[in-house]
Homo-oligomer: A and B are copies of this chain.
Amino acid sequence: MNIVANVYRGGIVESSHLGHVAVVDAAGNLLYSYGDPHRLTFARSAMKPLQTIPVVETGTADQFVFEDADLSLCCASHSGELRHRTRAMGILERAGKGEELLQCGTHVPRDEESYRQLILDGRELTPIYSNCSGKHSGMIATAVHMGEDPATYHLESHPVQQRILEVIADIMCYPKEQIATAIDGCGVPVHQLPLVNIAYGFARMAKPETIGNDTRRAAVQRVTEAMMAAPEMVGGKKRYCTDLMNAFEGRLFGKAGAEAVYCIGDKATGLGIAIKIEDGSPRATYAVMNEVLRQLGIGTGGALDDAALSSHTNPDVLNMSGQRVGKIEAQFLLQKVNEKIIIVKN
């Protein structure tokens, strides 16, 4: 049983999470694994850095003067804070469009204060509050820049989505025709690939010299550097993605995906890491990723001890009065594998 984390109440295991880990280098070697590293996985929002590459490649980012923070917001599952909403609106405005084009739907934002203020103002939730509004704004801007229909950018057949599919297939080195798709929580296509390929894609983004095409290599570099330059845009207050990239100061870029996915690219080692909790429950994801980093020696005795980041390591389970009544503990041992698993095309 590939348990990755146990949830304790008192000293007793109350619930357990199974999971899968793949650690791959930029040459296509699977170095460490746990569970099934070949598990076919929808990386969900962990794909956002790849979905943002066409925003740069097409020239959209240049035309609409995207700052690092704008590109970082395109890669975000943000908390809906004022700074996130303002920046998403800014992208739409520079593209000459409005919020009504956003197809991401609505949900209560993570930022409680923003939600409270909305209710007090007698306003209703709108798509700009969606954690995906940055990504969608970038997609709309791209459609405008390319002279494509900005109203149907979310459909799989639209060139905006077709470009993303091509980027994923290329960087993750997986045949386009073998990538199964479905619809994400925000209405755009999601792509299913083996976990090893997802990790491999993050390794290549961490070592962009492995990407042959000059335009693509430059775009990858600009997007990942934007994430690390403006980590507060990728998540928000007390969010793992933000805390991770703040702590590692330009070394790592990381992104969470729904249904308990997390992906990291490490520029120092050139490793890509992808994890998936089998049951899709997000609560153990960050504790598991911090434990993977610890076992790989990435940031141990340094960035990994950062106060904000280490608050995600084996977090407390609190009761409704704020009393500590248990904990979530990552418990697994990565296995050394060292097998060549990917035919590198470039």
Contacts and interface: CB of A to CB of B under 8 A. Distances in A.
A181 interface: yes
Nearest to A279: B279
Contact of A278 (B16, B107, B186): B16
A9 to B, nearest CB: 4
Contact size class for A? 35 or more
Copies in the complex: 2
A230 interface: no
Given A105-B319, A281-B279, A320-B130, A325 B17 contact: no
Nearest to A120: B119
Interface in A101-140: 103-107, 116, 119-120, 130, 132
A42 B9 CA distance: 9
Contacts of A319: 105, 183-187
A325 B259 CA distance: 14
Given A119-B120, A279-B281, A106 B320 contact: yes
Nearest to A325: B183
A322 B105 CA distance: 8
Interface in A2-38: 7, 9-12, 14-18
A279 B17 contact: yes
Contacts of A65: none
A107 B106 CA distance: 22
A322 B125 CA distance: 14
A137 to B, nearest CB: 15
Interface of A: 7, 9-12, 14-18, 40, 42, 103-107, 116, 119-120, 130, 132, 180-187, 190, 192, 259-260, 277-281, 319-323, 325-326
Q: Nearest 10 A-B pairs (CB), nearest first?
A: A105-B320, A10-B182, A15-B280, A105-B321, A279-B279, A9-B182, A183-B325, A281-B281, A119-B119, A185-B319
